[in-house]
Amino acid sequence: MAVGADGPLSGSRTSADYFHGRDGLGGVHTTHPHLTPSQEWESLFSPSPGSVEELAVAAQHHSSFIASKRPAYEEMLRVLKQNDPGTITIVALGPLTNLALAAAEDPETFLRAKEVVVMGGAVDCPGNATPTAEFNTYADPVAAARVFALTSQMPLSTMPPAELSPNLPTYPSTLSKQLKVKLVSLDVTRSHNLTRGQFHERVAAIAAAKSPLAEWTSAILEHCFTRLDVMHPGHEGDMASLSLHDPVCIWYALTPDSWQWMLSLDSPLDLRVETTGQWTRGMCVIDRRNRKRRDHDDPDVEDNGLWLGNRSGNRIDWVVGTPGADMFASHVMDRLFVKQQN
């Protein structure tokens, strides 16, 4: 365990505690204290958390794990340095702040990662934080833009404005390689859903038998389903449907070979993140025009904004499908709660 950044690279902090609770788990640490470690966890969820060092020291006393005294981005770099290049996959299920900090601190070490699997973005669908932006990219668009820039042959060409992260250095003009990013966006995760009815059918009896896992999972998901009842009138009750965004991303990371053909036909995609728009912060921007790339200084190719600049542009592998969306919820339930044999 390592404590991450306490806010985005630029702008104010955005949270989803209205949906997930202050602890991200529906408040389970207060509603079900018998299922929650008691040692020093209160400090992690306090209204005014301490510094990274104070939190790490507090967590160090917990008997179930040894917490790192380093901030998360330093711990990430340590792991990458201590393992062979191309052997570590980073799975990012939240804003990319810690990844951006690691890349800024030591880009060549960061590029030792085999790939970065990102749950984030809304490419050809509405966002869930704003009409155009998915929550993770909205929460720290500057971090997303900086990480995605490492997929370009010319990272400086797609970096966000320097004034948005004045305390971080720019990347060197040349790097040894390009970062591989697999983007698992809302476009695909929204089709992988678990309904309250499905969950109750599978878990109710196990929870009644006092299974700690079933009780703990039920507490978390019931909080989410209750929020969905309020947010989507007419689809409440057993029809309330929770999108399994993060589990889909983990599914890919565990079984990447069976997904290779599911990447976008346009992959790698020149996808960039808007960082300064009043209404489009965190929006994933792609060029839908039929334009060729500029060949050096060809005067016949209009390139306002230098989008088509020679060798510029990001190269994101966009995942647009999975091996089985209809069966995914059942698959997750099977893995969490093994069916009892008669």
pLDDT digits (tens, 9 = 90+) for 200-221: 998 988 988 888 899 999 989 9
Distance of CA 150 to the CA centre of its chain: 17
Low-confidence ranges of the chain (pLDDT < 70): 37-67, 291-306, 308-311, 339-342
For residues 272 and 285, the answer to whether their CB atoms sit within 8 Å is yes
Q: What is the pLDDT of residue 104?
A: 97
Q: What is the pLDDT of residue 76?
A: 97
Q: What is the pLDDT of residue 47?
A: 45
Write a three-state SS string for 144-182: HHHHHHCCCCCHHHCCCCHHHCCCCCCCCCCCCCCCCEE
Q: What is the pLDDT of residue 341?
A: 41
Q: What is the pLDDT of residue 63?
A: 54
Give the pTM. 0.86
For residues 185 and 160, the answer to whether their CB atoms sit within 8 Å is no
Q: What is the pLDDT of residue 17?
A: 81
Q: What percent of the chain has pLDDT over 90?
A: 50
Instruction: Give the integer Cα–Cα distance in Å for 310 and 173.
Output: 15
Count of other CB atoms within 10 angstroms of residue 233 = 7
Q: What is the pLDDT of residue 342?
A: 38
Give ranges for CATH 3.90.245.10 in the chain. 70-192+244-342
pLDDT digits (tens, 9 = 90+) for 222-267: 999 998 888 888 777 888 899 999 999 999 998 888 777 777 777 7
Domain at 70-192+244-342: CATH code: 3.90.245.10
Residue 284: CA atoms inside 13 Å, Cβ hemisphere, count?
29
